[in-house]
Amino acid sequence: MLQAINVAKSFGTEDVLRGVSLRVSRGEVVAIIGRSGSGKSTLLRCLNHLEEIDSGSIVIDGEVMAENDASGRARYRKDAELRAICQKMGLVFQDYNLFPHYSVLKNLVMPQTAVLHRSRQEAEAKARALLEKVGLADKADEYPCNLSGGQCQRVAIARALAMDPEILCFDEPTSALDPQLTQEVLSVIRQLADEQRTMIVVTHEMNFARDVADRVIYMEGGLIVEDGPAQKVLGSERSAAVRAFVGESGY
Amino acid sequence: MKYFNNPEAFLKLVVSMQDGFAATLTIFALTLVFSIPLGMVIALLRMSKSRIISTPIAAYILIMRGTPLMLQLFAVYFAIPMFFGVNLDRMTATILAFSLNYAAYFAEIFRGGIMSIPVGQYEASHVLGLTPVQTFFHIVLPQVVKRVLLPVSNEVITLVKDTSLANIIAVSELFRAAKNEASRTASVEPLFVAGLFYLLMNGVVTVFFSRLTSRFAYYKD
Ligand SMILES: Nc1ncnc2c1ncn2[C@@H]1O[C@H](COP(=O)(O)OP(=O)(O)OP(=O)(O)O)[C@@H](O)[C@H]1O
Ligand SMILES: [Mg+2]
């Protein structure tokens, strides 16, 4: 479903990703953990084309988004093709990034009509069904400023789902939330996992990673250091590196 | 006192100033019609990543904001015919000079508004698949409008009063009409009557903007 090979990315002189390779199969839920600054967000942002990689390749659902040219620098597909490929990806941000001037319903409807050219009725039906699913059917006409953080994040998840992404990415979706609101967001993600959605979740919630993810990836210094089944990476035989990290994060 | 204690004379004076008032309204309205869109274009060019575009635009803004509008009026009215051989009538020259000047102020207000929109709004739009043009018109611009209402209302109020500058190139606007009336009747009262007109216009402007502000109060950001 997703294949990233040897992805490198630097900001100025700082090598943030130093050759990351990652494969995600259909229906798989992958959790990415690691210290602050290890490159987790950058990886996710590269997969969603919010950053362009320096070298390596990214293939999504069989379509090449970027690959190395003869000189070893990553070349991206042309605009229209790139847009179509990126449409297979969805991203939920830590701070939601809802559109404040739109009602909850319009946050979900507008991208569908503008990008996917769905009819208003179709987009609205889809939006209402998704709001129902994240438990916010009664908030359709509210504005984001009147919602709690947990509700905003659930709207953001619904908005991402409305675009029918093949792969949904989350960048620390609960970091801005208190424990109770965290649980309501995690339970939505858990429900999506049960529906066999392909997801990549950057998280600091170790329990969540262990319980929900099929695979856990541990990143350090711009590299994937551990990659395996959740039980293995986070279980009793976890590596020294993961042990040290998990120890710090108090799990 | 000739007018303020004589309702009939006062009314006559007001009527005699109506053409001037109409000219003032024309300068005011047309300047806004031209300078607001032009200001938005200038703001976007000013933010261009290309130095070849942004540097001349920055110079333009510096000149427009850094020299007296009165001088710019003279420049447009006298210099354009000299260099380009086209004769501008006084009203056209006035509206041109005012539009070019106010566009520079509006541009900086809009630029501030655009830069105040969090980068997350662009990123969310990009991830959802909106094009840059869709993002600008559907996501950024509506939020910018709300954020710039207050500084824009300041400029509009200033513009009402600045229209009186047009009298220096002999446009028969309100202030000139008042001045003529004042010298003809050897009384300063017509000038104060003109003042009342400006005050009235700005009362309307103020009400208009406070209505607009409440229309945008449906969300907080
Ligand atoms: N746009 C940018 N320009 C310059 N440096 C950046 C940029 N984005 C990220 N970095 C740097 O890249 C490194 C990795 O950042 P990244 O956000 O990917 O880490 P992270 O693993 O997501 O951390 P956190 O857990 O704090 O979110 C950091 O050192 C950061 O300073
Ligand atoms: Mg991060």
Ligand 1: does its nearest atom lie under 6 Å from the Cβ of A174?
no
CATH of domain B7-218: 1.10.3720.10
For A217, B143, B150, B153, the CA distances from B212, given in Å and listed in that order, are 51, 13, 10, 10
Q: Is B128 within 8 Å of A144 when comparing Cβ atoms?
A: no
* Cα R_g (chain B), whole angstroms: 21
- Mean pLDDT, all residues of chain B: 94
Q: How far apart are CA A109 and CA A131, in angstroms?
A: 11
CB-nearest partner of A101 from B131, B134, B142:
B142
Decide: B159 and B166 in contact? Cβ < 8 Å: no
Decide: A168 and A161 in contact? Cβ < 8 Å: yes
Decide: A103 and A139 in contact? Cβ < 8 Å: no
Q: Is B220 within 8 Å of A83 when comparing Cβ atoms?
A: no
Q: What is the pLDDT of residue A251?
A: 57
Q: Where are the domains of chain B?
A: 7-218
B173-188 burial by CB neighbour count: b if 16+ within 10 A, else e? bbbbbbbbbbeeeebe
β-bridge pairing A89-92 and A167-171: parallel
Which ligand is located closest to the Cα atom of residue A33? 1
Instruction: Report pLDDT digits (tens) over B184-194.
Output: 989 999 999 99
pTM equals 0.92
Measuring from atom 31 of ligand 1, which residue has the nearest CA?
A37
Ligand 1 mutation target, pool A11, A44, A171, A249, most atoms within 8 A of CB: A11
Superfamily of domain A1-88+166-251: P-loop containing nucleotide triphosphate hydrolases (3.40.50.300)
Any chain A CB within 8 A of the CB of B142? yes
**DSSP codes, B116-177:** TS-HHHHHHHHHHT--HHHIIIIIIHHHHHHHHHHHHHHHHHHHHHHGGGGGGGT---HHHH
Classify residue A49 by its DSSP letter: T
Which ligand is located closest to the Cα atom of residue A42? 1
Instruction: Report pLDDT digits (tens) over B196-219.
Output: 999 999 999 999 999 999 999 999
Q: What is the pLDDT of residue B81?
A: 86
> Which residues place a Cβ less than 5 A from the ion ligand 2?
A 41
Decide: A162 and A130 in contact? Cβ < 8 Å: yes
Strand partners, A202: A32, A171
Task: Give the number of C-alpha atoms closer than 13 A to the C-alpha of residue A139, restricted to the C-beta side.
Answer: 25
Alpha helices by DSSP H, listed for chain B, are: 7-16, 18-46, 51-66, 69-74, 80-84, 90-115, 119-128, 132-134, 141-162, 174-185, 189-215
Any chain B CB within 8 A of the CB of A163? yes
* Cα R_g (chain A), whole angstroms: 18
Q: How far apart are CA B140 and CA A100, in angstroms?
A: 11
Which regions of A79-222 does DSSP assign to beta strands (E)?
89-92, 167-171, 198-202, 215-220
Q: What is the pLDDT of residue A239?
A: 83
Give backbone dihedrals phi and psi of B54, rounded to 5 degrees, phi first: -70, -30
CB-nearest partner of A97 from B121, B130, B142:
B121
Decide: B172 and B20 in contact? Cβ < 8 Å: yes
Name residues whose C-beta falls within 8 Å of residue B120's C-beta, 6 or more positions apart in sequence: A93, A95, A97
Q: How far apart are CA B194 and CA A184, in angstroms?
A: 64
Give the mean pLDDT per block of 10 residues along chain A (251 residues).
93 93 94 93 96 94 90 89 93 96 97 96 96 95 95 96 96 90 92 94 90 92 91 81 77 57
Amino acid making up residue B207: V
Give backbone dihedrals phi and psi of B59, rounded to 5 degrees, phi first: -65, -45
Amino acid making up residue A207: N
Q: How far apart are CA A134 and CA A111, in angstroms?
A: 18
ipTM: 0.94
**Residue B145 CB coordination number (10 Å):** 15
And the tokens for B141?
A: 């611009």
Q: Is B219 within 8 Å of A101 when comparing Cβ atoms?
A: yes
Q: How far apart are CA A224 and CA A40, in angstroms?
A: 10
**Residue A100 CB coordination number (10 Å):** 18
Strand partners, A11: A14
**pLDDT higher than threshold 70 for residue B22:** yes
Give backbone dihedrals phi and psi of A217, rounded to 5 degrees, phi first: -115, 130
Instruction: Report pLDDT digits (tens) over B69-128.
Output: 999 999 999 988 888 888 889 999 999 999 999 999 999 999 999 999 999 999 999 999
Per-residue pLDDT averaged across B151-166, rounded? 97
Query: Which strands, in side-by-side order, build the sheet including A223-229?
Result: A89-92, A167-171, A198-202, A29-34, A215-220, A223-229
Residues of chain B with Cβ-Cβ distance to A111 below 8 Å are 128-130
Per-residue pLDDT averaged across B19-29, rounded? 95
